[in-house]
Structure 1
Amino acid sequence: MTARTLLHRHPARRDDIGDLQTRRPLPGPGLHHLDPFLFLNHHGPQVYPPHNAGLPFGPHPHRGFETVTFILAGSLAHRDSGGHESVIEAGGIQWMTAGRGLVHAELSPAAFKRDGGDLEILQLWINLPARLKFTPPAYHGVPAANLPLIEADDGRVRLRLASGSHQGIRGAVATPTPITLMTVEIAPGGRATLPAPSGATVFCYGVRGSLQIGGQEEAPWQLFQFADDGDQVEVASRDGAVLLYGHAAPFAEPIVAHGPFVMNSAEEIRQAIRDYQAGLFGEVPE
């Protein structure tokens, strides 16, 4: 077993959306994507007061990729034009496959807008290969209790497995392409060896706390890019940390992105816009 070499650190840039504190490590300067991982927004952590306006993500379209939303604190309501609806509380995830196209809204539930409270959310976009760009849309709302929990290092490391498999345990969501994705909580003094199969792209983002990667101290709010020269990533923390971690095989296909659409050519983007304007993505029910 060999540890991968850390190549680059990509700090998250602050890019608030109204009063929603937002950091974005991907895309960023020098890194347009990390095939097949396209985009990550880290909202919060922050405290919303009572009688707040909630999140600003009203109905909007997507085509050609998947969105995975981790609710670390607070709660999030989902509705989409495919008839899917849920409210997910802290610790759960929302996994949406946009495929050929749909419209969805991600908003704060009425109780959160009334009472306020802590909020922290991660949203990751994952590409679909050309053969699946027009797959039927799908949605999975997974509460925290339904995410498999794997403990390591005598309980000092807790892995919550969203997708893929690890140590013979399958994640909560069966995905169109093989993707292993998890959150990793490291208690003070904990350490873990995370899988990094040969040929796979590794996704590793420090959500909070200081990490040690290969013995080197690293600040949070960074995306870590690794060489494909080993089959594991070694992480530890002196004071405790949380990270978003995963791996997937790259598609090595052209990526053309325009706002909420990610396709393989400019003409496919133009068609997506035409189809959305023609109402082919449907509408979010009131």
Structure 2
Amino acid sequence: MIELVIDARRKDLGGFEVGRVLPFHSRRMVGPFIFLDQMGPAEFAPGAAAIDVRPHPHIGLSTLTYLFEGEILHHDNLGYNQPIRPGEVNWMTAGKGIVHSERTDPLKKSRGGPMHGMQAWVALPDEAEEIDPSFHHLGEDAQPSYENGGLFARLVAGEAYGAKASAPVSSPLFYVHWELQPGVRTAPPPGKGGGGMSERALFVAKGAIEVGDRTFHEGQMIVLEPTAEPTVKALVQSTVMVLGGEPVGERLIWWNFVASSQARIDQAKADWKAGRMKLPSEDDLEFIPLPEEPVQAQAAPAPVEPKPTDPV
């Protein structure tokens, strides 16, 4: 039933720990998901360093930010300035190019508090790689949810279980948040043999689960075989992200850029270095410069105030 298990690579960034899940050297994508990070869990002391990612560019992808705890303030060069809180979705489509920052609000920083969430990048299909950039903030009511018998499920994006979320996806996918009480059994959306998506995975953000006769814990991604139809059992109270979709084709990833050709990535590099990509009007006093060294995406350290070789 299980094709591969990926352990998140953890990195302490000055009191804030993140875990890089995708891309992985032997599995760069799951469906259109080309990047997956777990942010935290962390507890910031009052006034301590928090989320402080300076303006930086993207092309060829949609970013999906989703929180379990805490708050992040988004600024972009389309003019959106939007805090995101638990259960909400920030869906930003870069297309031909966008610039944004992710910060902790100064008042929130002064008070301190928890931070735990996920950030995913979804590669755009060929026909959408150069669409105009856009941003959508979606509240909890835009995401179908279900609760019964110790299972809470929220459809964060895409289609699954006969429901459809409001995020404006560009290709077939699903992204589901499960909260499971101990002993609860459930199942992911069907695979290829059951009329579902070709590629699927489970990521344990908290707790421990059993799939088949194997146990998996926090920080592990379980990539399922295309035709597998497993039952998942929570061994303790657990938070699990379930994701999948149809492949969009081979993609290159360099720093924050995703594209189907090296020429397009080279153009984005030149545009950022030359200052041809506008900074957010509400956050234009600094930015992350273009890295001067090659970026090995599958082994890059996790973001949040990155070093020059980090994707963010």
TM-score (norm 2): 0.84
SS of residue in 2 equivalent to 1:268 = helix
Name 2:43's counterpart in structure 1.
Answer: 47
Alignment of 1:1-286 (within 5 A): 5-151=1-147, 154-198=148-192, 200-230=198-228, 232-251=229-248, 253-286=249-282
Report the CA distance between 1:29 and its aligned residue. Answer: 4.0
Question: What is the letter of the counterpart of residue 104 of structure 1?
Answer: H
CA deviations 1:58-113 (Å, max 9, x no partner) are 11100011111111111011110111221111222211111110100111112221
Distance 2:166 2:32 in 1: 20
**Structure 2: segments with no counterpart, 5+ residues:** 283-312
Q: Does the 8 Å contact 2:39/2:117 carry over to 1?
A: yes
CA deviations 1:217-262 (Å, max 9, x no partner) are 22221111111124x44211121211111221012x2321110001
Report the CA distance between 1:31 and its aligned residue. Answer: 2.6
Report the CA distance between 1:145 and its aligned residue. Answer: 4.7
Report the CA distance between 1:52 and its aligned residue. Answer: 2.3
CA deviations 1:116-158 (Å, max 9, x no partner) are 001112111111122211111111222335432112xx33111
The range that moved more, 80-89 or 59-68, is 80-89
CA deviations 1:27-72 (Å, max 9, x no partner) are 2343333342111111211110111232121111000111111111
Q: Does the 8 Å contact 2:206/2:219 carry over to 1?
A: yes
Name 2:286's counterpart in structure 1.
Answer: none
Aligned residues: 278
TM-score (norm 1): 0.91
Q: Does the 8 Å contact 1:159/1:184 carry over to 2?
A: yes
Distance 2:230 2:278 in 1: 43
Report the CA distance between 1:11 and its aligned residue. Answer: 0.7
% identical aligned pairs? 27
Q: For the structure 1 residues 202 and 90, does the alpha-carbon distance in structure 2 shift closer, same or farther, using more than 3 Å as the test?
A: same
Report the CA distance between 1:214 and its aligned residue. Answer: 2.1
SS of residue in 2 equivalent to 1:15 = strand
SS of residue in 1 equivalent to 2:120 = strand
**Structure 1: segments with no counterpart, 5+ residues:** none
Distance 2:190 2:77 in 1: 36
Question: What is the letter of the counterpart of residue 237 of structure 1?
Answer: A
CA deviations 1:183-222 (Å, max 9, x no partner) are 1111111111221331521132110101111242222211
SS of residue in 1 equivalent to 2:267 = helix
SS of residue in 2 equivalent to 1:174 = coil
SS of residue in 1 equivalent to 2:187 = strand
Q: For the structure 1 residues 166 and 36, does the alpha-carbon distance in structure 2 shift closer, same or farther, using more than 3 Å as the test?
A: closer
Q: For the structure 1 residues 64 and 28, does the alpha-carbon distance in structure 2 shift closer, same or farther, using more than 3 Å as the test?
A: same
Distance 1:132 1:84 in 2: 22
Report the CA distance between 1:268 and its aligned residue. Answer: 1.2
